[in-house]
């Protein structure tokens, strides 16, 4: 045994290195978000130069730029940013809590539950605005509770919860389809919002309630998320170290469900953002932490880029963003399913 | 254990100029159940302060359950666990964690976490929402790495380590917590014999140098007899015998507890009881010599 006496300062150095990495990952992702956000304000049917965009934001635009930037592009870009953050965070929290990369709200039916409730509100009761947000939130919570109750068998195992969630998701999707057909929704675009998510025609009516919700939910989630890393050590170890495991977990579940709910209310369940953001965020952070902030930024980046591409794809005008994220996310989901099963955990 | 490591351990008691106060942990009429099935039927147990207690017994006797109960990981269905004479369930969880450390049977390391990161998690109970990481935390982590001989692994990913190394890292995390009471649930499982002995030596060093009260659930009877100051034998949810190994270990008690014939000799290495099991095969004479 040749152990050296250990230098205390090397611990401090290791920690400093970790911090530098964290800061550079978050900084790099933020920069990317800012760039794509700016691009989506500049580029459109007509290109508006960055100085003009900035002066318009400062309240000195022409009538034309005021309309294009403030009424069309800004709310859409903000919706993309915030929905990305919400889905990214929600997915990362679920994946960490259930210790399973498949456990994101879009796979286990939370987003579908929110969708179904929103559709019920719109088609069934003719509601609009903040009432839809509230209803979607309720739908997400109700779905989560139903899932938990069905999966409960002397405690809840991650895998059973996911399977029950996938089943519920299918059921809720058929509920959505039923409302669509019975309400004679003639505009396919409108219907598609609630099935795969879309950012077209998003305006301040969706952005404001989302902004208010996120101002509350994001800080709460990030603060609780500091303890989420401790839960990764297993319940017994975490409790032994003084973590109030049950309370933290309940708080995080509610926050993550609410995030998925309010995001869905704004733009529909933008497919697979929640599934993809967490693993990418974690692999960038690479420190075994839940990497909530990187995941949130990755989510924002995915939605912003996907919507930018969707808006500017030749021959396919008005391609819903969810179709694009779905096209990227579905192969990843298949790969993840195949990989998990070959690891022998699929039973 | 190296010279430096031993000195580093000794430093805990002397550096800050006081001998740590001895905290006490006891069970009173403790009943523990999973679902509706009662596993532990109202036991009284006091961990002798500053000593190493080993809990042994056959599979399913409730020894791990007892340890989880003592560590407040499982709420009693009856009776109490007393920390310093106070019902442990009335003390805030984090406050308990500054005094009482537990290393569960199957701890989980998050993917990709490094040894330093994992050991640093042991400082959690000493941090508040507002108290930042400070020099004392660095020092506690460095010391934990040193005494467990894991310093040279500090930048490696926990997942890439061997079983023996990994177990030492978990012990390091528990040591970084700097508690006066330390409970370990079968810490030697999956370790080869040399690593088992090394781990128990390490814990004994900790006990002797810092006066840490240690309780270990252990499978290996002979190692338990050798390393225990106080031995607790459990069977079917009750304590059958407790005391020093020399006092209580007889062929009779072992046969009763484990349902197995055996001989008990004196271990020539340590002058403690040495249990030789007698099965149906490979015996030169038919009966027990004692």
**Strands, E assignment, chain B:** 25-34, 37-46, 52-56, 78-83, 86-87, 100-103, 181-185, 213-217, 230-235, 238-243, 262-266, 273-277
Q: Where are the alpha helices (DSSP H) in chain A?
A: 8-42, 50-57, 63-65, 74-97, 110-119, 125, 130-151, 158-182, 188-196, 204-231, 235-240, 245-267, 273-285, 292-311, 321-342
Residues in chain B within 8 Å Cβ distance of A230: 121, 124
pLDDT of B287 above 80: no
Q: Do A3 and B104 touch (CB under 8 A)?
A: no
CB contact under 8 A, B146 and A6: yes
CATH fold, domain B3-244, is: Rossmann fold (3.40.50)
Q: How many CB pairs under 8 A join A and B?
A: 129
For residue A187, give both structure tokens.
Answer: 């505009």
Nearest residue in chain B measured CA to CA from A244: B93
Give B235's strand partners.
B238
Give contacts of B72 with chain A, Cβ < 8 Å: 239
CATH for the stretch A77-93+100-341: 1.10.3470.10
Residues 93-152 of B with CB under 8 A from A: 93-98, 100-104, 106-114, 116-118, 120-122, 124-125, 133, 135, 138-139, 141-143, 145-146, 149, 151-152
Which of B75, B112, B169, B174 is the best mutation test for A, with the most CBs of A within 10 A? B112
Q: Record the pTM.
A: 0.84
- Structure confidence at residue B18 (pLDDT): 46
Q: Are B193 and B1 contacting, i.e. CB atoms less than 8 angstroms apart?
A: no
Residues in chain A: 347
Please give the residue that has the higher pLDDT: either B134 or B49.
Answer: B49
Gap between the Cα atoms of B115 and B158, Å rounded: 6
| Segments of chain A with pLDDT less than 50 | 1-4, 343-347
| B181 touching chain A per CB within 8 A | no
Q: Please tell me the number of Cα atoms within 13 Å of B223 on its side-chain side.
A: 21
A12·B138 Cβ contact <8 A: yes
Distance from CA of A163 to the nearest CA of B (A): 23
Our CA-based measurement puts residue B176 at a distance from the nearest CA of chain A, in whole angstroms, of 11
A234–B8: do the CB atoms touch at under 8 Å? no
Residue A136 near residue A261 (C-beta atoms within 8 A): yes
What is the ipTM score, two decimals? 0.84
pLDDT, tens only, A25-62: 999 999 999 999 999 999 988 888 899 899 989 888 88
A333-340 CB contacts, 8 Å cutoff, 24+ apart? A333/A102, A333/A107, A333/A272, A333/A275, A336/A101, A336/A102, A337/A102, A340/A101, A340/A102
Query: What are the structural domain ranges in chain A?
Result: 77-93+100-341
Residue window 49-68, chain B: list those with CB within 8 Å of chain A.
68
Q: What backbone phi and psi angles, to 5 degrees, belong to B264?
A: -120, 120
pLDDT at position A175, please? Answer: 87
A179-188, B8-17, B70-79: which is most confident: B70-79
- CB-CB neighbors (< 8 A) of B120 in chain A: 11, 15
pLDDT value at residue A321: 85
pLDDT for B11 equals 45
Domain ranges of chain B: 3-244, 249-290
- pLDDT of B259-273, one tens digit each? 989 999 999 999 999
Q: What is the structure's pLDDT at A188?
A: 58
């Amino acid at each position: 045994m040749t152990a050296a006496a250990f230098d205390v300062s090397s611990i401090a150095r290791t920690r400093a290195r970790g911090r530098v990495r964290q800061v550079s990952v978050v900084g790099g992702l933020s920069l990317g978000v800012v760039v794509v956000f700016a691009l989506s304000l500049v580029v459109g049917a007509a290109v508006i130069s960055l100085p003009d965009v900035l002066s318009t934001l400062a309240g000195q635009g022409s009538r034309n730029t005021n309309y294009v930037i403030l009424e069309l592009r800004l709310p859409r870009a903000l919706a993309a940013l915030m929905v990305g953050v919400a889905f990214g965070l929600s997915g990362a929290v679920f994946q960490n809590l259930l210790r399973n990369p498949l456990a994101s709200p879009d796979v286990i039916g939370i987003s579908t539950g929110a969708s179904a409730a929103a559709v019920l509100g719109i088609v069934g009761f003719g509601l609009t605005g903040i009432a839809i947000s509230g209803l979607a939130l309720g739908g997400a919570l109700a779905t989560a509770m139903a899932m938990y109750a069905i999966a409960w068998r002397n405690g809840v195992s991650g895998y059973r919860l996911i399977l029950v969630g996938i089943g519920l998701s299918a059921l809720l999707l058929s509920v959505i389809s039923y409302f669509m057909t019975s309400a004679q929704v003639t505009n396919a675009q409108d219907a598609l919002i609630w099935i795969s998510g879309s950012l077209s025609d998003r305006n301040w009516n969706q952005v404001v309630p989302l902004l208010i919700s996120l101002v509350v939910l994001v800080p709460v989630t990030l603060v609780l998320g500091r303890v989420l890393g401790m839960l990764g050590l297993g319940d017994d170890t975490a409790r032994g170290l003084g973590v109030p495991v049950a309370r933290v977990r309940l708080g995080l579940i509610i926050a993550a469900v609410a995030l998925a709910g309010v995001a869905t209310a704004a733009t529909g369940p933008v497919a697979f953002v929640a599934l993809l953001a967490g693993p990418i965020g974690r692999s960038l952070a690479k420190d075994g932490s839940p990497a909530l902030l990187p995941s949130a930024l990755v989510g924002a980046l995915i939605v912003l880029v996907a919507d930018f591409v969707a808006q500017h794809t030749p021959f396919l005008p008005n391609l819903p963003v969810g179709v694009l994220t779905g096209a990227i996310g579905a192969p990843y989901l298949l790969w993840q399913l195949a990989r998990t099963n070959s690891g022998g955990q699929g039973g | 254990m190296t010279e430096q490591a031993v000195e580093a351990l000794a430093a805990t008691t002397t550096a800050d100029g006081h001998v740590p106060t001895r905290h006490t942990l006891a069970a009173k009429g403790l009943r523990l159940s999973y679902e509706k099935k009662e596993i532990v039927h109202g036991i009284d147990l006091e961990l002798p302060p500053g000593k190493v207690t080993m809990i042994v017994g056959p599979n399913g006797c409730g020894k791990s359950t007892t340890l989880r109960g003592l560590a407040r990981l499982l709420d009693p269905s009856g009776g109490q666990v007393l920390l310093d004479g106070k019902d442990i369930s009335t003390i805030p969880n984090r406050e308990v964690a500054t005094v009482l450390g537990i290393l569960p049977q199957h701890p989980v390391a998050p993917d990709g976490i490094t040894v330093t990161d994992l050991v640093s998690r042991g400082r959690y109970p000493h941090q508040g929402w507002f108290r930042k990481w400070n020099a004392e935390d660095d020092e506690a982590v460095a010391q934990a790495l040193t005494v467990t001989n894991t310093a040279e692994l500090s930048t490696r990913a926990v997942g890439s380590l061997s079983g023996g190394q990994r177990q030492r890292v978990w012990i390091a995390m528990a040591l970084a917590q700097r508690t006066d009471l330390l409970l370990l649930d079968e810490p030697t499982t999956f370790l080869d014999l040399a690593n088992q002995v090394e781990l128990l030596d390490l814990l004994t060093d900790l006990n002797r140098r810092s006066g840490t009260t240690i309780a270990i659930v252990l499978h290996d009877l002979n190692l338990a007899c050798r390393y225990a100051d106080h031995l607790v034998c459990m069977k079917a949810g009750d304590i059958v015998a407790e005391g020093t190994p020399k006092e209580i270990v007889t062929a009779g008690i072992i046969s009763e507890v484990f349902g197995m014939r055996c001989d008990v000799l004196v271990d020539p290495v340590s002058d403690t009881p040495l249990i030789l099991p007698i099965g149906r095969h490979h015996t030169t004479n038919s009966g027990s010599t004692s």
